[in-house]
């Protein structure tokens, strides 16, 4: 009996998915449960398993195609079965239950070791004028992933793809992205020094297609600003004690030293226990108070923004929170988050301090009712009685939904966050 291969639903709000790579060619035999294709959503790249054993036929989606959830993109015929009109006619969309068919038994790293079905770089593979084809993309020589000093070389998927196409060794470039990572613009600048770049006619406009992640970020932030009446409360927080604690941990040679952001996440989780209205959601029926405190931390990617969630953060010690935070951030940067990793957040922290921002205001991440924006920790001159002193200060700004909370509640919450950070009791 023929089995349809459909575009699966990997998230609650997902409407479409982008086919990144076929791991089997049309006409090849497949076994139920083995990796069949890779799909990119607005949050992650996920390996999808074959739903049945047989022969892969009637492939209708090509690499780079954006396909609505539930649409059929191929058919698997049982061994010995011959394709019939009934077997290949368009079915009614039947979305795959969320998470079903996701391969977790064959990590990408294992397939790279054997050279089996290497996928396209994340976010790449759009048609860009190519003719559609149902054959899998042949493996390409990977771009350099090791820095000259033997350490790990950080480069975005787009940068790796362009480097391969233009024959540029990433190890020879200096990155301008976060933590010195190499981004697409770095490779393009290097290529321009070797070949004459194409000069657009004067006044020509270039339209850059929206990535799935950029599109969903735009939709959700527009929804938030149009429906939630934002108000903002700012406060300066003395981070001298936290900075001293971090220095002591480093001096002791601790393996995992909490970052400034880890301290903030841990503190917010503790403070929210006393301010449940900030851990809630506005609905037409009333204010939904969440029993769990699930803290999201905004992570900037080249393609957009993603917010992985630390669940039950108020029940974690600082050390436990550090471990979960780093694991989620690493998965986010590799676009390997699963829906459980980024759904169900009840409060978000957005930190631009590592980029040198002194302060900023953030847009609430719906359906949440508040988000805390924090800037860098920097030395400032402050008054201490009749004298002056230099302290490490940080500006925090809370954005809140006025339908749910008022200014006094928001200010008291920020006061509690300030108190806990200025006198950290770990």
**Across all residues in the chain, what is the average pLDDT?**
80
Q: What tokens were used for 175?
A: 């990155």
Per-residue confidence band for 339, with pLDDT thresholds at 50, 70 and 90: confident
Residue 402 annotated to the active site: yes
pLDDT higher than 90, residue 264: yes
More confident residue, 243 or 143: 243
More confident residue, 403 or 204: 403
Per-residue confidence band for 135, with pLDDT thresholds at 50, 70 and 90: very low
Q: Which of 131, 230, 266, 402 is catalytic?
A: 402
Quote the pLDDT of residue 108. 38
Quote the pLDDT of residue 42. 66
Give CA–CA dist 64/71, Å, rounded.
Answer: 15
Quote the pLDDT of residue 278. 97
How many Cα atoms within 13 Å fall on the side-chain side of residue 336?
Answer: 14
Backbone angles phi, psi at 40, to 5 degrees: -110, 130
Give CA–CA dist 295/301, Å, rounded.
Answer: 19
pLDDT higher than 60, residue 21: yes
Model pTM score:
0.63
Give CA–CA dist 416/409, Å, rounded.
Answer: 11
More confident residue, 403 or 194: 403
More confident residue, 248 or 199: 248
Quote the pLDDT of residue 151. 57
Quote the pLDDT of residue 362. 97
Question: How far is CA 2 from each of CA 7, 53, 58, 93, rounded to the nearest angstrom?
Answer: 16, 10, 11, 16
Mean pLDDT of 320-339: 89
Q: Name residue, tokens 């989606």.
A: 61
Residues above pLDDT 90, as percent of the chain? 42
> Over the stretch 296-327, which tens digit does the pLDDT of each residue have?
999 988 878 889 999 999 999 999 999 999 99
Quote the pLDDT of residue 178. 64
Q: Which of 380, 309, 365 is nearest to 338 (CA)?
A: 309
CA 242 to centroid of chain Cα atoms: 28
Per-residue confidence band for 397, with pLDDT thresholds at 50, 70 and 90: very high
For 294-363, give the DSSP string.
Answer: -EEE-EEETTEEE--EETTGGGS-HHHHHHHHHHHHHHHHTT---HHHHS--SEEEEE-GGGT-------
Which alpha helices (H) appear in 170-316, and where do they start and end? Answer: 184-192, 212-227, 240-251, 260-272
Q: What tokens were used for 341?
A: 């990793």
More confident residue, 126 or 330: 330
pLDDT higher than 70, residue 134: no
Quote the pLDDT of residue 115. 40
Q: Which of 323, 327, 308, 233 is nearest to 275 (CA)?
A: 233
3-6 β-sheet, strand order: 3-6, 72-77, 54-57, 29-30
Of 69-73, 126-130, 174-178, the range with the lowest mean pLDDT is 126-130
Question: How far is CA 56 from each of CA 13, 39, 74, 88, 231, rounded to the nearest angstrom?
Answer: 29, 17, 7, 12, 55
- Residue 259's Cβ-count burial label (10 Å; 0-12, 13-18, 19+) is middle
Give CA–CA dist 418/412, Å, rounded.
Answer: 10
Pairing assessment for the beta strands 54-57 and 72-77 based on DSSP bridges: antiparallel
Write the CB contacts of 191 (distance below 8 Å, at least 6 apart in sequence): 162, 166, 168, 197
Quote the pLDDT of residue 280. 97
Quote the pLDDT of residue 106. 41
More confident residue, 410 or 134: 410
């Amino acid at each position: 009996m023929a089995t349809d291969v459909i575009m699966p639903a990997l998230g609650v709000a997902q409407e479409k998915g982008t086919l990144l790579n076929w791991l089997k060619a049309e006409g090849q035999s497949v076994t139920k449960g083995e990796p069949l294709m890779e799909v990119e959503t607005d949050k992650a790249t996920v390996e999808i398993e074959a739903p049945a054993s047989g022969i892969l036929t009637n492939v209708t989606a090509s690499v780079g195609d954006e396909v609505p959830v539930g649409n059929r993109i191929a058919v698997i015929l049982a061994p010995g079965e011959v394709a019939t009109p009934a077997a290949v006619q368009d079915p009614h969309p039947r979305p795959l239950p969320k998470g079903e068919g996701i391969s977790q038994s064959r990590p990408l790293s294992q397939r790279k070791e054997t050279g089996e079905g290497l996928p396209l770089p994340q976010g790449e593979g759009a048609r860009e004028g190519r003719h559609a084809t149902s054959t899998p993309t042949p493996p390409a020589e990977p771009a350099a992933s090791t820095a000259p000093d033997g350490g790990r070389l950080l480069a975005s998927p787009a940068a790796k793809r362009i480097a391969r196409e233009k024959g540029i060794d990433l190890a020879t470039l200096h990155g301008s992205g976060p933590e010195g990572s190499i981004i697409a613009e770095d490779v393009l600048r290097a290529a321009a020094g070797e070949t004459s770049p194409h000069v657009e006619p004067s006044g020509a406009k270039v339209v850059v297609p929206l990535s799935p992640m950029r599109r969903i970020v735009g939709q959700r932030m527009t929804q938030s600003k149009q429906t939630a009446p934002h108000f903002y409360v700012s406060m300066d927080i003395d981070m001298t004690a936290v900075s001293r604690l971090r220095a002591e941990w480093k001096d002791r040679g601790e393996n995992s030293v909490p970052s400034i952001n880890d301290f903030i996440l841990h503190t917010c989780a503790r403070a929210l226990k006393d301010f449940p209205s900030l851990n809630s959601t506005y609905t037409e029926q009333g204010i939904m108070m969440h029993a769990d405190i699930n803290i999201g931390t905004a992570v900037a990617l080249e393609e957009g923004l993603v917010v992985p969630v630390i669940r039950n953060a108020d029940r974690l010690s600082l050390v436990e929170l550090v471990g979960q935070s780093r694991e989620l951030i690493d998965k986010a940067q590799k676009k390997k988050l699963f829906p459980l990793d980024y759904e169900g957040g009840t409060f978000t922290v957005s930190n631009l301090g590592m980029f040198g921002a002194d302060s900023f205001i953030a847009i609430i991440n719906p359906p949440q009712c508040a988000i805390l924006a924090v800037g860098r920790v920097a030395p400032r001159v402050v008054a201490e009685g009749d004298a002056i002193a230099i302290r490490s200060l940080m500006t925090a700004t809370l954005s809140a939904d006025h339908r749910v909370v008022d200014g006094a509640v928001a200010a008291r919450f920020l006061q509690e966050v300030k108190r806990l950070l200025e006198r950290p009791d770990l």
